[in-house]
Structure 1
């Protein structure tokens, strides 16, 4: 990926070096919860149809669904980012996502509230609770922030056999995809409805949420490619990363067998397919994972 010398985002909160906190027992809340009672899924299907149709018609889906961008509490003062190559890279990728999503939202008549990327070491406290580096990168809808311990990129290459700068960019773009879902109302609606879902139903719907974030990452990749920023092999890196972090791939690697009803992010094939769909089309209406066979 041709990223050097390009604009870097100022929406970076570097919390590295602030010391490590011990996570309280049972703390977290960093993943979309999957517990709850049994219930229907029609409301979420309807809201995604509204998003897709409104976007296709050039109507602002943000205001249509939620009356405006998500409101969050005032964030704490940000710390300046360190000046190292990896930090510069993630700041550049974040800037590229800002450029793409600002343009997409503007075309639909809306404004894109840019998220902040929090860099941490070991453990971090977010509005969703405490999280450790072992949990991997995550998005917290309660504060509209992305969180990542940059050591994850080393683990991505070493443990998951997914190296390359565009594999890393895919990870960031996927979390930004969750932010887009939060802004247009998909995550809030899912979090409301999950209270009436069984664990199995919520897992199944979580897969569709994650696959849409993969597709949104692919949409970003499409527009990045159109700007001439991708190099030979970049797409292969992203598709390999999507494959290596599929639920089935991870379960086979860690426990030797798979449990499909426990999947919450999607299989390797599903993740690869939906990223590719966004990358090939560059359209949000191609990312309707809620009304398609996944």
Structure 2
């Protein structure tokens, strides 16, 4: 991926090494474990943690990352690409894109959705409109999932920003409202559709950003597809327990995640990402 000369976003909070202020971990350890299943690579932890906003101490002002931090530079550049691309898409539709913040943390962090641990993976909190990322997750992607590569890492950020787009469009609120009125299995099915749409939005971002900035190199798309396949519910459950339980899926199968990212990157059209009206996922 060509990113070294891209514009760096200033919407980065570097909380690495900062200790979170005291606060009740939403629902205790059991809630965190459940949040891990719901929020792995893109879920909405507020659905599980469900508590009042808790923020870091006002005395702890998160600085911008050091200029010579290559990993942070990569993240801020990818975020900058998402800002430019989604701003253009929103302008085309006659509206204004509100840029999210991206919080870098290590170990544990306070968010508007509660206290979260790095083991939950990256997540988006709609209550404070921030993406949270412990970059050790990228090491886990490479070592445990075999899904390394800079564009695979960019896909992770783009997926989370996809949830921000859903939040701005009111899709997330509609889904949560429907989930409160249906069974657990049906609620999970709605979550799958929400996640697959975020995958499709990530693909749209890749398409449109490449058109404008020529960021893709040979093998990049394959990296993203490999990452999407690696985090399918069926694959993760089989790795963890030897079998899959479809009714418990919250993010979609490997094949579904690959399909919807591919749909986005091929078309570059958000109108092609309506997973909620798709008869086949």
TM-score, normalised relative to structure 2: 0.87
Aligned twin of 1:228: 214
Cα distance in 2 for residues equivalent to 1:119 and 1:101: 21
Cα distance in 2 for residues equivalent to 1:31 and 1:180: 16
Shift of 1:284: 0.6
Cα distance in 2 for residues equivalent to 1:121 and 1:114: 23
Aligned twin of 1:33: 47
User: Among residues 248, 259, 269, which one is paired with 2:245 in the alignment?
Assistant: 259
Shift of 1:122: 0.2
User: Among residues 230, 235, 248, which one is paired with 1:244 in the alignment?
Assistant: 230
| SS in structure 1 of the partner of residue 13 of structure 2 | strand
What is the Cα-based RMSD across aligned positions, in Å?
2.2
Shift of 1:229: 1.0
Q: Does 1:291 align with 2:272?
A: no
Shift of 1:225: 2.1
Structure 2: segments with no counterpart, 5+ residues: 36-43
Aligned twin of 1:276: 262
8 Å contact kept, 1:219–1:283? yes
Cα distance in 2 for residues equivalent to 1:137 and 1:220: 18
Superimposed CA distance per residue, residues 173-214 of structure 1 (whole angstroms, 9 cap, x where no aligned partner) = 000000000000000111222211211111000000000000
**Number of equivalent positions:** 258
Cα distance in 1 for residues equivalent to 2:166 and 2:206: 17
8 Å contact kept, 2:191–2:251? yes
Post-superposition, which runs of at least 4 consecutive aligned residues in structure 1 deviate over 3 A?
Answer: 20-24, 26-30, 74-78
Please list, as runs of the form range in 1=range in 2, the aligned pairs for 1:158-173 lying within 5 A after superposition. 158-173=143-158
Cα distance in 2 for residues equivalent to 1:255 and 1:32: 26
Of structures 1 and 2, the one scoring higher in RCO (CA 8 A, sep 6+) is: 1
Structure 1: segments with no counterpart, 5+ residues: 36-71
The 1:241–1:163 alpha-carbon spacing in structure 2 relative to 1, beyond 3 Å, is same
